[in-house]
Structure 1
Amino acid sequence: MSFQIKKSSKVYDICIVGSGAGGGMATKVLSEAGFKIALLEAGPNFDPANPDQQTQFKWPYESPRRGAGTSRPFGDFDMAYGGWEIDGEPYTRKNGTKFDWFRSRMLGGRTNHWGRISLRFGPLDFKRKDFDGKGDNWPIGYEDVKPYYDKVDKLIGVFGTKENIPNEPDGYFLPPPKPRLHELYLKKAGQKSGLPVIPSRLSILTKRIDNRRGACFYCKQCSRSCSIYGDFSSSSVLVKPALEYDNVDLYVNAMVREVLTDENGKATGVSYINKHDLQEYTVKAKVVILAASACGSARILLNSKSSKFPNGLANSSGVVGKYLHDSTGAARTALVPSLMDRKRYNEDGVGGMHLYVPWWLNDSKNLGFTRGYHMEFWGGMGMPAYGVGFGMENINGLVPGKDGQMKKPGGYGLDFKNDVNRFYGAIVGMAGRGESIPQKDNYCEIDPDVVDKYGIPVLRFNYKWTDEERKQAKHMHETFEELIHNMGGIALGNKPGKESDYGLDVPGRIIHEVGTTRMGDNSKTSVLNKYNQAHDVPNLFVMDGGGFVSQADKNPTWTILALAWRASEYLTEEIKKMNI
């Protein structure tokens, strides 16, 4: 690699690194305010309506590998250019850590293939320390973010129902899709146990809200990114409209190395490696916004060392990279015999659950853990994939045969075909997604010895679950088994025990990591102020999940979007006041 850095003479008002939820929202709001913007993305341009990139409407047998492995973590047609492992972009771990880091290298980032579960944090979620004495409160409350949640709902669209559940704030909802048959079974089973099984809240258009985007037609392929923009992806809904202005320049395949600063410690732009020619370039700007994901932005800051910032940029507190935390996750599947041998009909629906269970035990203090989880469901008669895929391989015991006799499922030839036909649509799955308590000792740092293929030092992770998360996972599985029993189902696989942390997923596997550049009022214990602005560098902002003080039992995307909108409006006003 050449050490000749190619410098541009053009100076932008704002340089934004990352085009996912936070970067996309910042680009939209700030471009509409008239600022000259450079938007840098580490992957290629992407548009799901482009026939050369579109994977929607393809059959499994159209896979280039015909099911014999895949180059993508969720299958050939999932719209994620990246994964937990990317060739030439390693990361390392220490102290037995098993953290996995997911990255999407494409315009729009992870928002092209996510589950689109779009939940607001509630009043309690911003002030959990007041409730259980653990972790820290946010420097803001629900009322500070509510106006921006409202704006996000109206701009992007989210379906759901008003339920008046105290810590599950209602929003501006589109009509929800009707429950599918397996979800009706789950609802009845949940009600028997006193669970609030309610319509899910997903950012998918069940009716049109503007002339740009079409309404969902229920192909259940949202993970492929919608070619009519009927679901929310940052690339389709935020970045694409912004690029229609002449004040936004998009730089793709740009791997940002560091934020550049002057002798006064003010940000002056960024340097990046062009992935095609492997040369280093600079982009000059009056303001820099990092939105490269919680760990990606922390990596850039920690690599931005200078005599004024020997421990990394904006890191006088020493907490850049610290307090890393991901959602907890555990799951179970079951066979429901009464769903076998049923009539075939199209019940694809949206690309996700139609019903879910929000956390229902906020007032309980005798569970052994204090942070909760929500429950997600899957099942039905969607498009079959390669492999057996109907749960038969996980059934340890006997199930009713067509003649009513108990038998071991599967086999060969006609017996196998008959069982595949019978089990299709009879398997249901459930998963818990919960809140972990941020720990200072869970962190990412720069590995002193390893660089990626672009010559940029990589991250090294240190992460462990605590007993709080293990007890939460144990409670998840107890709830799963109760639901399965209520449905008359047969639980598949073995119930995980203490030796396996009660089935807790490896941290990073839920892809909700946040907290590495936390916000706070005290610059000695936080990186950002309550407007996502760096304490140490006033013209530097971080607008991804890094600013989170804690992660609720909700998916983080809606809060990233709302906070980025809020921070962008604040930045606009500060520039007008000549404070930046």
Structure 2
Amino acid sequence: MSFEIKQSGDTYDVIIVGSGAGGGMASKVLSEAGLSVAVVEAGGDFDPAKEDDRTQLRPPWESVRRGAGTRIRPFGDFDAAIGGWDIEGEPYTRKNGTQFDWFRSRMVGGRTNHWGRISLRFGPNDFKRASIDGLGDDWPIGYDDVKPYYDRVDKLIGVFGSKEGIYNEPDGFFLPPPKPRLHELYIKKGADKAAIPMIPSRLSMLTRPINNERGVCFFCNQCNRACGAYADFSAGTCLVHPAMKKGQVDLYTHSMVRKVTTDDSGKATGVSFVSKVDMKEYRLNSRVVVLGASACESSRILMNSKSKVFPNGIGASSGTLGRYLHDSTGADRMGIIPSLMGRERYNEDGVGGMHMYTPWWLDNKNLDFARGYHIEYWGGMGQPSYGTGMGMDSMRKYVIDEFGKPSPNGGYGAGLKKDIRTLYGSTLGMSGRGESVPNYDNYCEIDPDTVDKYGIPVLRFNYNWSDQEIKQAKHMQDTFEEILTNAGAILLGEKPGPESKYGLAAPGRIIHEVGTARMGNDPKSSVCNSNSQVHDCKNVFVVDAGTFVSQADKNPTWTILALSWRASDYIVSEMKKKNL
């Protein structure tokens, strides 16, 4: 059952803070092991199959903004994301003129409701980067330690893809991938000329049934809205809600956790939270506390968990709590394929994401930067919505009339509509998503002068890209231009140069932040051990991306899920041994 609020004094075996990938997986594994679990979520409940939450298949004209984003739904009025980089009453600050944009999700399932479902395993090299390039640190675990859990995640949740035999892009248990769409075939022609691989994507959408509780993808291309058939992976629909049906799980929504509470010996006793419903503070008790609130939010909770035993917060003794914050790099480029202008209209929706992608294909020893990136491709004939047709002033010159001259149509009315229809389905592009090098001086800390509307001290960020990431972005832009040109595309816009860091997105904008409570064997240089257990407080665990030692050139979600399952198994084992 789900609670808006519950009085203090309730005791559980485990309290889980956050209901996204890490918290959701922990709720399933721990409750199915017979433990009583409380999931504490800062946002509201969410189920895309319920009419009040459903945005899937709704046409843009049902939105008063025609689908445009809002402060609390920045990716679009019908996108499943509830939260954003700027949440009323929940500020964060920056220092030294640096920039970090922090995305928070405020809903059951967290960010997994609207993400691209790109579900990549880290490879053997990704756990040992320091041994390869001498930068940062190796993980205390390797691929072989995580592989059994990747296998379990594949089988439980479902991911499509193809067996490729690429050493550092490990294969998994794959469902059949969808066929490439027309724009992807054009891009592949350009990539083939440049000897750049393109392979079927690995996304967590069901192209075949795997159980009786979830439907199969019907290719509406709207996975960002969350699937009412539960054919795509969201932590709420695939983990938290099923756990609530099967096990002893109570869900506390609209509950902002202030701190992990401890006793005089430094043992965690539960959490305190502020209810958004009545703005009062409540306490829950437990034998174990699991933090899965996102890398920065979990570290914020640990920093704010001050006591006589932990004067600087739980896990702060090494001086690395909040440190080594890093996000994926990101840069983009787009173009127009003239031969696709005025193309025939047909349903090519497919899944809500790319059908093909490029894994990292080069040896960094031959380059001037240390870490790689993958390429995501986009385009096609998705449902037009708010923003369609914007930029026509710059694109109209590429629309040729029947006399071979640029379109004479004006910037409004029937002429504008004609030009938009001509260009529809001919634009395409690509995005690089790469690995940054962890840096001690990129961090989040508690701002001593600012609290949120709930009276909880907020985070302050310090973050700068290094030459490693800037040089990587330059390589991305060179690669994008080569692929697009080879594909016969007209490049749109000027090629980003050094003045814009080659189009490198601001840190935080890719929403892959990791590393603020990193794991390691030495308590003097890490926050958690290899089982995601806080060195300083043995009954506190971190199961989001905060424990990551490095990011890899992959999206973090599949590794969050695998490590959360691994940590949950360890919690069950230690409880049976009465060590927790």
Given the two structures, how large is their TM-score scaled by the length of structure 2? 0.97
Change (3 A) 1:113 1:424: same
C-alpha distance after superposition, 1:369-425 (max 9, x if no partner) = 010000001100010012344653443855533332245776343332221111000
C-alpha separation between the residues in 2 aligned to 1:523 and 1:303? 20
Change (3 A) 1:28 1:165: same
- Corresponding residue for 2:77? 76
C-alpha separation between the residues in 1 aligned to 2:68 and 2:154? 41
Tell me whether 1:488 sits opposite 2:488 in the alignment.
yes
Tell me whether 1:300 sits opposite 2:301 in the alignment.
yes
Contact 1:36 1:248 in 2 (8 A): yes
Write out aligned runs for 1:347-366 (5 A): 347-361=348-362, 363-366=363-366
C-alpha distance after superposition, 1:214-238 (max 9, x if no partner) = 0000011101110010000000000
C-alpha distance after superposition, 1:230-260 (max 9, x if no partner) = 0000000000110013511111111000000
Change (3 A) 1:52 1:577: same
Measured after TM superposition, the shift of residue 6 of structure 1 is: 9.3
Contact 1:391 1:492 in 2 (8 A): no
Write out aligned runs for 1:460-499 (5 A): 460-499=460-499
The alignment partner of 2:146 has SS state of helix
> Equivalent pairs: percent with the same residue?
66
- Corresponding residue for 2:434? 434
Contact 2:396 2:407 in 1 (8 A): no
Contact 1:182 1:428 in 2 (8 A): yes
- Corresponding residue for 2:240? 239
Tell me whether 1:368 sits opposite 2:368 in the alignment.
yes
* Comparing 395-404 and 119-128, the one that deviates more: 395-404
- Corresponding residue for 1:413? 413
Write out aligned runs for 1:381-400 (5 A): 381-389=381-389, 392-395=392-395, 398-400=398-400
- Corresponding residue for 1:379? 379
C-alpha separation between the residues in 2 aligned to 1:495 and 1:397? 18
* Comparing 555-564 and 408-417, the one that deviates more: 408-417
C-alpha separation between the residues in 2 aligned to 1:416 and 1:531? 58
Contact 2:100 2:507 in 1 (8 A): yes
- Corresponding residue for 1:338? 339
- Corresponding residue for 1:98? 99
* Comparing 383-392 and 239-248, the one that deviates more: 383-392
Measured after TM superposition, the shift of residue 10 of structure 1 is: 2.6
C-alpha separation between the residues in 1 aligned to 2:471 and 2:542? 33
Contact 1:396 1:492 in 2 (8 A): no
- Corresponding residue for 1:530? 530
- Corresponding residue for 1:111? 112
- Corresponding residue for 2:203? 202
C-alpha distance after superposition, 1:340-385 (max 9, x if no partner) = 1111100111000000000000x24131101000000110001001
The alignment partner of 2:411 has SS state of coil
- Corresponding residue for 1:61? 61
C-alpha distance after superposition, 1:468-520 (max 9, x if no partner) = 00000000000010011101111111111101111000100000000000000
Change (3 A) 1:68 1:131: closer
- Corresponding residue for 1:501? 501
For residue 449 of structure 1, what is the amino acid of its counterpart?
Answer: D
Contact 2:68 2:77 in 1 (8 A): no
C-alpha separation between the residues in 1 aligned to 2:409 and 2:104? 39
Tell me whether 1:174 sits opposite 2:175 in the alignment.
yes
Write out aligned runs for 1:14-29 (5 A): 14-29=14-29
C-alpha separation between the residues in 1 aligned to 2:331 and 2:99? 16
For residue 509 of structure 2, what is the amino acid of its counterpart?
Answer: R
For residue 45 of structure 1, what is the amino acid of its counterpart?
Answer: D
Tell me whether 1:10 sits opposite 2:21 in the alignment.
no
For residue 565 of structure 1, what is the amino acid of its counterpart?
Answer: W
C-alpha separation between the residues in 2 aligned to 1:480 and 1:263? 58
For residue 373 of structure 1, what is the amino acid of its counterpart?
Answer: Y
Write out aligned runs for 1:13-52 (5 A): 13-52=13-52
Measured after TM superposition, the shift of residue 308 of structure 1 is: 1.2
Change (3 A) 1:549 1:281: same
For residue 532 of structure 2, what is the amino acid of its counterpart?
Answer: N
Q: Unaligned regions of 5+ residues in structure 1, if any?
A: none
The alignment partner of 2:330 has SS state of strand
C-alpha separation between the residues in 1 aligned to 2:419 and 2:514? 43
Number of residues paired by the alignment?
575
C-alpha separation between the residues in 2 aligned to 1:91 and 1:28? 32
Measured after TM superposition, the shift of residue 315 of structure 1 is: 1.2
C-alpha distance after superposition, 1:135-157 (max 9, x if no partner) = 10000000000000000000000
The alignment partner of 1:38 has SS state of strand
Contact 2:306 2:313 in 1 (8 A): yes
Write out aligned runs for 1:76-155 (5 A): 76-155=77-156
Query: What RMSD, in angstroms, separates the aligned Cα atoms of the two structures?
Result: 1.5
Contact 1:304 1:313 in 2 (8 A): yes
C-alpha distance after superposition, 1:61-93 (max 9, x if no partner) = 111333566341101000111100101000000
C-alpha separation between the residues in 2 aligned to 1:558 and 1:335? 33
For residue 345 of structure 1, what is the amino acid of its counterpart?
Answer: Y
The alignment partner of 1:120 has SS state of coil
C-alpha separation between the residues in 1 aligned to 2:67 and 2:557? 31
- Corresponding residue for 1:521? 521
Given the two structures, how large is their TM-score scaled by the length of structure 1? 0.97
Contact 2:342 2:422 in 1 (8 A): yes
C-alpha separation between the residues in 1 aligned to 2:425 and 2:396? 19
C-alpha separation between the residues in 1 aligned to 2:388 and 2:175? 36
- Corresponding residue for 1:448? 448
C-alpha separation between the residues in 1 aligned to 2:279 and 2:62? 34
Measured after TM superposition, the shift of residue 577 of structure 1 is: 1.0
C-alpha distance after superposition, 1:160-199 (max 9, x if no partner) = 0000011000000000001000000011111111111000
Contact 1:396 1:493 in 2 (8 A): no
* Comparing 404-413 and 38-47, the one that deviates more: 404-413
C-alpha separation between the residues in 2 aligned to 1:278 and 1:248? 24
C-alpha separation between the residues in 2 aligned to 1:409 and 1:136? 58
Measured after TM superposition, the shift of residue 8 of structure 1 is: 2.6
Change (3 A) 1:294 1:523: same
